[in-house]
Chain A
Amino acid sequence: MLTRAHGIAVYERGRILPDRLTTVRHGHYMNYAGRMLGVYRNGLGQTRQALHKQVKAIFAEEDDCPTRRIEAFCKLLDDESEFIRDPKGKAARLRRQVFRLAAPCHPLVRQADRLFERTEEETKAHIARELGIDWAEIQAMFFSDMMEFHCLRKFKGYADGAALLSRYNVAQVQVALYSATEMVIRAEQDFKTILRHAKLAGLLHRIKRIRLELYEIRLDGPASMLRQTRRYGVFMAGFLPKLIACAGWSMRARLLTPRKGYQVTLTLSPEDGLSSHLDSPHEFDSGVEEAFTAKWGDQPREGWRLIREGEVLHKGQKVFVPDFVFEHEDGRRVPMEVVGFWTDEYLREKVKTLRAFREQNIILAVGQAGAKRISGLPPDTIYYKSALKIKDVLERLTNA
């Protein structure tokens, strides 16, 4: 990730537009990106300072490139690199030896005179003899543990120039989000992934149903309702790649700016064409669900249409997104949760959640193999062996 110091953005009528490299305006950056990757791929054994210098040189004649953008590229390249950091403190030990040997000769003068006869040159030669290493070699090693002089050991890199540029685009949005006080997502799909990762990021949510299958999820942190704070912005930035990997959403964030009292809005949706380096969420949690969906088909059965993750149940900070919702032609909606693979703990947690939402009349389908291990399952639970039967579900729906 980039730091705030790498951030580039334009403010335009109350909106923030993070720096974005597009094929239309920055087509020639593909070439630069390829060359930058080349610098690192061919740069094994070189110092960070030398690598950064070469990256800067690539942009010497480029009219459209702020210094920050170059520094951001360097950071993104460094992030995927391994450097030799001298973990055993060899350089520090060498310095200690040299300083202690030199101390009695202090001050090292340029030219000897009657008062001070120890010159820099002689002292260095003397120390080199004492240690049995050439002074030139000592000097090369002297500060090799410092950031700028770390040597590249391995470059894990990016698949290609395009991958580097798309990471850059996402990273600039993340920097903008560091200043966010609140993020509002409107989602039509992938609720489960969105909510789970928001929670993992340590954010609190408010959920509002806008209309059937369109939810508004407002994210911030514990102290956000007491005062304006951007402390949770970094969590939102960490969550962003996960959001981008999802489908069917739009996002709006409120950002503080350096100008006191002046706020801006950041908006984003899949139409902006950002791509995440993370995989998009698996459509189905298990094969049982996938097979069931395929068998049920697109058409209603006995008036019931099957919708995957169509409903978000919530109470305070408790959220539950059942795997399916059955929607009847007369408007009735019945959620269903399929529990296949589990540990006892997982199942117990699930039973607790279902109990919290029991007025929703959720159909529970449990794989038979482990159902005996746990007590407290609702009496009308559907059990299945290898596949969930449509007949069983329809029967249960008729009684719903």
Chain B
Amino acid sequence: MHLTLSYDRGTLILAGLNQSGLPPDLHGEPWQWDSRSLCWRCDAIHYLQAQGQLASAGLEVRDTVPRFGNVRWGTINLPELWEHQNRALDAWMNLGSGLVVLPTGAGKTEVALAIMARTAISTLIVAPVRDLMYQWHQRILRGLNHDAGIIGDNIYNLKPVSVTTYDSAYIHMDKLGDYFGLIVFDECHHLPGRLRREAAVMSAAPLRLGLTATPQRSDGRHANLDRLIGPKVYEMPLSKAKGGTLADYEVVRIPVHLEPEERVRYDALSVEVRGFMYGRRQEKPEYSWEDLCAETGKDPAARKAQKAYFAKQAIEDRAKEKLRVLEDIFRLHEGSRVIVFVGSNAMARDVSLRFLVPCIISQTKKPERRDVLEGFAEGIYPAIAANQVLDEGVDVPKAKVGVVLGGKSSSRQAIQRLGRLLRKKGREKAVLYEVVCEETKEVARSRARRRSDAYQGARYRRI
């Protein structure tokens, strides 16, 4: 009997057995008979388990799955690990798969690089955004002296060590799943989404590492991380990190008011939206925003109300006073690097054009991003404005002052935004300003943000 185990676009195929020929050891999970291709099939994530099953059944199988192998690093140039990083490294090495939970700034990347140095096997790094993907590329080049391939940002350069984004991993994994022995999910709380999870399911990598500061998801799907990557092998809580490994920080909220003409328009728009909602709720008390959106196609009044709502948001987002407050913050912190988070591309451009400081939005191209971030790090640019894209993990060294001009609140975003400012450099304290429109939706969002765990213990001042 000649059996072959092979990789087929995200799945494993066991060929050479007919429908009734599966030995008892292999019954049940994960194998299923595929009547289309006349073979047994399972998801690639079960590769390690399948190998074990076949061996214990005493079957002789030609295994054509792995296209991965050993990697030779260049001169390794990694910093000595902190104690907590060493613990994380050992815990992961014991198991060969699992999650390492460290707060932002506590050196997750170093742990991953140390693991890569030890395992020395074809590795794929999956990062949330393109900036981070490039950053990983740089870190691997510096630390392991290895030029990794890039898959994402319209580049497809597959190498035994490659970096990619979650979106590209989802799209391309059926072609890559047999190519890597180790797969690293950075900020792995992103993985359990309904689609993105397939990046883990379609990979045959036997070694798996998940890195995150906040494994919890509001939808409860974090439980899936256990199946997709492995159990939590190490965790350092945020409270332990604060003041110890990381700098102390302070949050200052600055309420702004709409200008008279903005106010007049804002109020008129509010009346319009409220009036519409009130009318609908007379007939249907549970009438919601979603219902309104669903009606926009048939009812011009709903469309007008929707338009009014978006116009309201735009007024909040681009309130003129925000730029005045920003000027004051720039004055106050002259000589310190300031990073400004904005809620829209339009506002990013407003800030950029008003103060002639660079902005980064999602469509900013790679060379410019690099120039801006490096220029900011070197002190050439005194400040930068960023829309969402820098929300996570992108190295913005030594930024001690952060300003949030609008934006949505959620526990994870708050932690990561603060993380930007928490990088330990000297004894200087970090400050985060939240500039929000008074008596508007944004105040409620700021309140929600304050309630989240990231702010617990942070000192809170109101000007």
- Give the Cβ gap from A88 to chain B, nearest Cβ, in Å: 12
Cβ contacts under 8 Å, A205 to chain B: 36
Complex Cα gap A65–B307 (Å) = 13
**Interface mask (B343-382 → A, CB under 8 Å = 1, otherwise 0):** 0010001001111111001010101100100010000111
When the two chains form their complex, are residues B354 and A107 in contact, meaning their CB atoms are under 8 A apart?
Answer: no
Query: Does B186 make an interface contact (CB < 8 A)?
Result: no
Cβ contacts under 8 Å, A68 to chain B: 297
Question: Contacts A92-B367, A222-B41, A225-B41 given: A107-B303 contact, CB under 8 Å?
Answer: no
When the two chains form their complex, are residues A92 and B368 in contact, meaning their CB atoms are under 8 A apart?
Answer: yes
Count of chain B residues near A, Cβ 8 A: 51
Cβ contacts under 8 Å, A206 to chain B: 35-36
Question: Contacts A67-B306, A69-B297, A89-B365 given: A223-B357 contact, CB under 8 Å?
Answer: no
- Give the Cβ gap from A121 to chain B, nearest Cβ, in Å: 11
Complex Cα gap A69–B306 (Å) = 15
**Interface mask (B380-399 → A, CB under 8 Å = 1, otherwise 0):** 11110000000000000000
Partner pick for A106 among B299, B300, B383, CB 8 A cutoff:
B383
Stretch among A141-149, A245-253, A276-284, A352-360 lining the B interface: A141-149
When the two chains form their complex, are residues A99 and B297 in contact, meaning their CB atoms are under 8 A apart?
Answer: no
Complex Cα gap A205–B331 (Å) = 67
- Give the Cβ gap from A84 to chain B, nearest Cβ, in Å: 15
When the two chains form their complex, are residues A317 and B355 in contact, meaning their CB atoms are under 8 A apart?
Answer: no
When the two chains form their complex, are residues B298 and A109 in contact, meaning their CB atoms are under 8 A apart?
Answer: no
Partner pick for A116 among B41, B331, B355, CB 8 A cutoff:
B331
Complex Cα gap A105–B357 (Å) = 11
Query: Does A63 make an interface contact (CB < 8 A)?
Result: yes
Cβ contacts under 8 Å, B202 to chain A: 223
Query: Does A379 make an interface contact (CB < 8 A)?
Result: no
**Interface mask (B298-322 → A, CB under 8 Å = 1, otherwise 0):** 1110010010000000000000000
When the two chains form their complex, are residues B380 and A96 in contact, meaning their CB atoms are under 8 A apart?
Answer: no
Query: Does A110 make an interface contact (CB < 8 A)?
Result: yes
Query: Does B452 make an interface contact (CB < 8 A)?
Result: no
When the two chains form their complex, are residues A226 and B43 in contact, meaning their CB atoms are under 8 A apart?
Answer: yes
Cβ contacts under 8 Å, B331 to chain A: 107, 109, 115-116
Query: Does B25 make an interface contact (CB < 8 A)?
Result: no
**Interface mask (A12-47 → B, CB under 8 Å = 1, otherwise 0):** 000000000000000000000000000000000000
Complex Cα gap A102–B454 (Å) = 35
When the two chains form their complex, are residues A98 and B36 in contact, meaning their CB atoms are under 8 A apart?
Answer: no
Which chain B residue lies CB-closest to A260? B194
Query: Does A157 make an interface contact (CB < 8 A)?
Result: no
Cβ contacts under 8 Å, B139 to chain A: none
Count of chain A residues near B, Cβ 8 A: 51
Complex Cα gap A116–B333 (Å) = 12
Query: Does A8 make an interface contact (CB < 8 A)?
Result: yes
Partner pick for A67 among B32, B198, B303, B356, CB 8 A cutoff:
B303
Which chain A residue lies CB-closest to B354? A120
Cβ contacts under 8 Å, B35 to chain A: 206
Interface residue ranges of A216-263 to B (CB < 8 Å): 221-223, 225-227, 229-231
When the two chains form their complex, are residues B356 and A108 in contact, meaning their CB atoms are under 8 A apart?
Answer: yes
Complex Cα gap A100–B35 (Å) = 65
When the two chains form their complex, are residues A66 and B9 in contact, meaning their CB atoms are under 8 A apart?
Answer: no
* Best-surrounded residue of B9, B299, B365 (most CB of chain A within 10 A): B9
When the two chains form their complex, are residues B365 and A106 in contact, meaning their CB atoms are under 8 A apart?
Answer: no
When the two chains form their complex, are residues A103 and B380 in contact, meaning their CB atoms are under 8 A apart?
Answer: yes
Interface residue ranges of B438-457 to A (CB < 8 Å): none
When the two chains form their complex, are residues A204 and B36 in contact, meaning their CB atoms are under 8 A apart?
Answer: yes
Partner pick for A227 among B9, B43, B354, B355, CB 8 A cutoff:
B43
When the two chains form their complex, are residues B9 and A317 in contact, meaning their CB atoms are under 8 A apart?
Answer: no
Question: Contacts A116-B331, A317-B37 given: A226-B380 contact, CB under 8 Å?
Answer: no
When the two chains form their complex, are residues A107 and B297 in contact, meaning their CB atoms are under 8 A apart?
Answer: no
Query: Does A316 make an interface contact (CB < 8 A)?
Result: yes
Query: Does A64 make an interface contact (CB < 8 A)?
Result: yes
Partner pick for B296 among A66, A89, A98, A108, CB 8 A cutoff:
A66
Question: Contacts A92-B368, A107-B330 given: A223-B297 contact, CB under 8 Å?
Answer: no
Query: Does B162 make an interface contact (CB < 8 A)?
Result: no
- Give the Cβ gap from B89 to chain A, nearest Cβ, in Å: 34
Interface residue ranges of A75-120 to B (CB < 8 Å): 89, 92, 95-96, 98-100, 102-103, 105-110, 115-116, 120
- Give the Cβ gap from B193 to chain A, nearest Cβ, in Å: 13
Question: Contacts A67-B296, A98-B356, A99-B358 given: A226-B38 contact, CB under 8 Å?
Answer: no
Question: Contacts A107-B327, A206-B35 given: A143-B349 contact, CB under 8 Å?
Answer: yes
- Give the Cβ gap from B153 to chain A, nearest Cβ, in Å: 15
Complex Cα gap A92–B357 (Å) = 13
Partner pick for A108 among B174, B303, B354, B363, CB 8 A cutoff:
B354
Query: Does A123 make an interface contact (CB < 8 A)?
Result: yes
When the two chains form their complex, are residues B300 and A100 in contact, meaning their CB atoms are under 8 A apart?
Answer: no
Cβ contacts under 8 Å, A139 to chain B: 353
When the two chains form their complex, are residues A317 and B297 in contact, meaning their CB atoms are under 8 A apart?
Answer: no
Which chain B residue lies CB-closest to A124? B356
Cβ contacts under 8 Å, A123 to chain B: 356
**Interface mask (B91-126 → A, CB under 8 Å = 1, otherwise 0):** 000000000000000000000000000000000000
Partner pick for B357 among A63, A106, A110, A146, CB 8 A cutoff:
A106
- Give the Cβ gap from B27 to chain A, nearest Cβ, in Å: 16
Partner pick for A226 among B11, B174, B381, CB 8 A cutoff:
B11
Partner pick for B32 among A89, A102, A225, A229, CB 8 A cutoff:
A225
Question: Contacts A92-B365, A100-B380, A231-B198 given: A107-B334 contact, CB under 8 Å?
Answer: yes
Which chain A residue lies CB-closest to B31? A226
Question: Contacts A100-B380, A147-B363 given: A222-B8 contact, CB under 8 Å?
Answer: yes
When the two chains form their complex, are residues A226 and B198 in contact, meaning their CB atoms are under 8 A apart?
Answer: no
When the two chains form their complex, are residues B9 and A221 in contact, meaning their CB atoms are under 8 A apart?
Answer: yes
Partner pick for B298 among A64, A124, A229, CB 8 A cutoff:
A64
Interface residues of B, Cβ cutoff 8 Å to A: 8-11, 30, 32, 34-38, 41-43, 174, 195, 198, 201-202, 296-300, 303, 306, 324, 327, 330-331, 334, 345, 349, 352-358, 361, 363, 365, 367-368, 371, 375, 380-383
Q: A105-B356, A223-B9, A227-B43 are in contact. List 15 more A-B contacts (CB 8 A).
A: A62-B300, A66-B297, A67-B303, A68-B297, A89-B367, A99-B375, A99-B381, A100-B381, A106-B382, A110-B327, A116-B331, A120-B356, A127-B356, A204-B37, A316-B38
10 smallest beta-carbon distances between A and B, as pairs: A66-B297, A107-B330, A102-B356, A106-B382, A222-B9, A92-B368, A316-B38, A222-B11, A63-B300, A66-B296
16 contacts between A and B (CB under 8 A): A62-B300, A67-B296, A92-B365, A107-B330, A107-B383, A115-B331, A143-B349, A146-B349, A204-B37, A225-B36, A226-B41, A226-B43, A230-B195, A231-B195, A316-B37, A317-B37
